[in-house]
Copies of this chain bind each other. A is one copy, B any other.
Amino acid sequence: MKKKTYEGYTYVDGGVCAAKGFVANGINCGLNSDKNKNDLGMVYSSTVCNAAAVYTQNKVKGAPILVTKEHLKATGGKAMAVVVNSKNANTCNADGVEKAERICELAADALGIDADMIINASTGVIGQIIPIEPFEEHMKELAGGLSADGNDKAANAIMTTDTVDKQVAVEFILGGKTCRLGGMAKGSGMIHPNMATTLNFITTDVAISADMIQKALSEIVKITYNCLSIDGDTSTNDTLSVMANGLAGNEEIVTENDDYAIFKKALYIVMECMTMMLASDGEGASKMLECTVSGAPDQDTAIIVAKSIIRSPLTKCAMFGEDANWGRILCAIGYAEADFDIDKVDVDLESEKGIVEVCRNGSGIPFSEEKASEVLSEDDIYINVNLNQGEASAKAWGCDLTYDYVKINGDYRS
């Protein structure tokens, strides 16, 4: 997947540890029988952070979400650490909340902080009782190993069916100070976010109030993660948190000023990039799909149409087969639940190999199948739709539907 370039923002290494003052670690505590795979991760800032989060809108919510919400409410948007495990979602268990609270207490003890300073998250199989012993036995080891280059270990700990870890960070100037914002994400299947997605943890050294983080986060999640669909299944454990410790030394952002715009753009870049990483590594994916809908009467219509295309199993299969079967794209545009005139729609298929125009004014036009096959042979495919009835636009991301998706999910639990 090719990262996009944005003027004034430079990609840097380090993920959640890229920003000043953040340390991380990841270990295998025994939830995962593969000792080479981490299953417990931690991110920590010794300086108290302003924090905000968004969560799944699924009625079934993982117990960690209920506990994290309570913590952020109790502290008025403050946090110092994330503790997160994979392999077990701690969801649909009668004792889930009790266990999540216990995990936070263990982490708080190991760090010498209050339990309500902890953001907790879990991912994995739904509906299996989570054993507490691995946490009791390994939490001190986890906290003891925190380091400024522990981001890889933490990113590994949150992976489930992911084939690669997802980390990104950018450096930028804000209020005369060099700032950084970075994060890590997991997710591969059960991805069709609604107000949040998968597990994502973002850290920054920018000084900004919790309210302003929440505002930026809510706006950007709508046009990044919420425009991602791997399979149409909205997870029960989606959590995305942002922690800002202020160590960059800029004047704290408390209004929508120029500094806020710079911060918001950094957040957008990191979230867009992680969205694309998640799409590229969708379960079984061989191709990343980015659909841009322009010429829409309003942004919501553009989003609805773009997501409808990205979600269409038949379109996804056609992309896997490198088949320019654009009728399926038009079909998915046609059943999108929005109000627009289908007879004005243009569709192009694009990749690094070029552009093929396949549909004008809702009807097919002659095109070279040879050229189309060449364009669709690339790993990153761009589906460009112009509704030709307005000025608004939006993007959505996803991946092709392959044999491997079925293979991975035909027997996930074993």
Contact = CB atoms under 8 A, between A and B. Distances in A.
A77 interface: no
Contact of A335 (B58, B325, B411): B58
**So how many copies of this chain end up in the complex?**
2
A405 interface: yes
Q: Which of A194, A232, A233 has the most CB of B within 10 A?
A: A233
A364 B128 CA distance: 7
A314 interface: yes
B413 A363 contact: no
Q: Which of A59, A129, A413 has the most CB of B within 10 A?
A: A59
Contacts of A190: 314, 328, 331
A126 B142 CA distance: 56
A335 B412 contact: no
Given A92-B362, A234-B335, A331-B233, A317 B60 contact: no
Interface in A373-414: 401-403, 405-414
B411 A323 contact: yes
B409 A406 contact: no
A87 interface: no
A176 interface: no
Contacts of A330: 60, 92, 126-127, 236
A232 B232 contact: yes
Contacts of A61: 334
A403 B407 contact: yes
Nearest to A366: B129
A84 to B, nearest CB: 19
A324 to B, nearest CB: 9
Contacts of A406: 317, 320, 401-403, 405-406
B317 A126 contact: no
Given A233-B314, A236-B327, A321-B412, 11 more contacts: A92-B359, A92-B364, A125-B327, A127-B364, A233-B332, A317-B409, A320-B410, A321-B411, A323-B410, A325-B413, A401-B406
15 contacts: A59-B340, A92-B359, A93-B363, A126-B330, A127-B363, A189-B314, A190-B314, A231-B313, A233-B313, A233-B314, A233-B328, A234-B334, A235-B331, A401-B409, A406-B406
Interface of A: 57-61, 89, 91-94, 125-129, 189-190, 192, 194, 231-236, 311-314, 317-318, 320-321, 323, 325-328, 330-336, 340, 342, 359, 362-364, 401-403, 405-414
